[in-house]
Amino acid sequence: MMTFPHASCEAGRVRIYRRIIILFCWTVLLGTAPGRAQEKTATPPKALLQVRNVGGMCSYGQCRTTLSVYQDGTGSVQEGPPEKPVRERSFEIDQQDFMELIWLIETTDFESIRATKFTGTCPTAYDGAQFIYAFSTNRGKVLLDSCQNVIDPDSDLFKIIHNIQIKSYSAGGA
């Protein structure tokens, strides 16, 4: 085994391994390498992640926003009821953010998140928001609800989701 005299060399090695694993996850999950064009089909791409934000009152009724991140590296934001959205926008996701999201979805310990139960009053009771996360993983679908589980906004997974949400607004998202 090779030893590295400096911590920065070790950090560089970790980054390289991380990129290799991300590329592997990308290939397994999507069946293609990054940057390779996907064939256009009539079937919409499968969602890798959906975040539903529900709560508060909007002009059309209870506020609802859904962020979807698809396996082809695109995303959409839909505002309003699913059967009749008020506003819809599509956008491209930054490739680095997308690859990191894939990596984090596949490596996050969702069972430990589920083990920490939310015991307060759901914010929708006082005009706040409830967040429902749906993840598609190689192990199956995972659902997390902010009114049932404590969601740590400082965890890497939820930081990258927040980053994608912010970028979706600047890209013309809802």
Evaluate whether residue 27 is within a structural domain: no
What mean pLDDT is reported for the chain?
82
Number of structural domains in the chain: 1
The Cα 146–Cα 143 span in angstroms is: 10
Evaluate whether residue 1 is within a structural domain: no
Q: Is the pTM of this model over 0.85?
A: no
Evaluate whether residue 40 is within a structural domain: no
Per-residue model confidence as pLDDT tens digits over 114-146: 999 999 999 999 989 999 999 999 999 999 999
CATH number at residue 135: 3.30.1560
Per-residue model confidence as pLDDT tens digits over 30-42: 554 444 444 445 5
Q: What angle do CA 147, 149, 150 make, to 5 degrees?
A: 100
Evaluate whether residue 59 is within a structural domain: yes
Domain that holds residue 149: 45-170
Per-residue model confidence as pLDDT tens digits over 43-60: 668 999 999 999 988 888
Evaluate whether residue 16 is within a structural domain: no
Looking at residue 3, its amino acid is T
The Cα 113–Cα 66 span in angstroms is: 21
Phi (first) and psi of residue 87, to 5 degrees = -150, 140
